[in-house]
A and B are shown apart, each in its own frame.
Chain A
Amino acid sequence: DQQVKQNSPSLSVQEGRISILNCDYTNSMFDYFLWYKKYPAEGPTFLISISSIKDKNEDGRFTVFLNKSAKHLSLHIVPSQPGDSAVYFCAASVMNRDDKIIFGKGTRLHILP
């Protein structure tokens, strides 16, 4: 059973608009959440993270929101750019236990010109 779920396999967004990628998790022990970006034939690249003591973390065009009660997080990219076209993985871990990261299946983001 998937502990980290990304229910949208793909998403298309117009260049310049906001991209919103969603993620749900089931394990209430998770207290650290990450987003990774992956281009074809490359390994995943760390994008942004958030710990459970926060509900928002912002880094430039990227903002991650965490709703602990709903066990839901989202990644907002604004404005979306062509180079943002990639697969985005939501991931989660339990701090102070081990560094094992549990990944979702990913969402493929297409930025349309």
Chain B
Amino acid sequence: GAGVSQTPSNKVTEKGKYVELRCDPISGHTALYWYRQSLGQGPEFLIYFQGTGAADDSGLPNDRFFAVRPEGSVSTLKIQRTERGDSAVYLCASSEAGTSGPSTDTQYFGPGTRLTVL
């Protein structure tokens, strides 16, 4: 079956612009996560959705970052007034995690979107 897909694979934008990054999780996965990986670093947690709601958004760096998952499937990460420091690979992951609470279900990652802010 299809894995997690992310579009676009690459995005180049200018400082101050608005960008949207899309994630299509594995079908049936209720949990969805966004991470950001800067050069030379490991993935850094941004936000976690359980169904349609953001269960934990403590990793979002500031209010320029926002994510939605309106129908509990596809998610969009939105970045306003982009800055050069936002340049990174944005990774999305999904898992089967059930609604009864957190679990250790394996998170499956997409290939990421490489965002470059000029």
| A binding-site residues for B, Cβ under 8 Å | 4, 6, 32, 36, 41-46, 49, 51, 89, 91, 93, 95-106
Are B107 and A46 closer than 8 Å at their CB atoms? yes
Given contacts A43-B112, A44-B43, A89-B42, contact A101 B107 (CB under 8 A): yes
Are B108 and A100 closer than 8 Å at their CB atoms? no
| B binding-site residues for A, Cβ under 8 Å | 4, 31, 33, 35, 40-45, 48, 55-56, 58-59, 91, 93, 95, 97, 101-112
By DSSP majority rule, is chain A's interface helix, strand, loop, or mixed? Answer: loop
By DSSP majority rule, is chain B's interface helix, strand, loop, or mixed? Answer: loop
Given contacts A41-B111, A43-B4, contact A96 B45 (CB under 8 A): no
Are A49 and B104 closer than 8 Å at their CB atoms? yes
User: A46-B108, A103-B42 provided; 16 other pairs, C-beta below 8 A?
Assistant: A43-B4, A43-B110, A46-B106, A46-B107, A49-B104, A91-B42, A95-B102, A97-B102, A98-B56, A99-B95, A99-B102, A99-B104, A100-B56, A101-B43, A103-B44, A104-B42
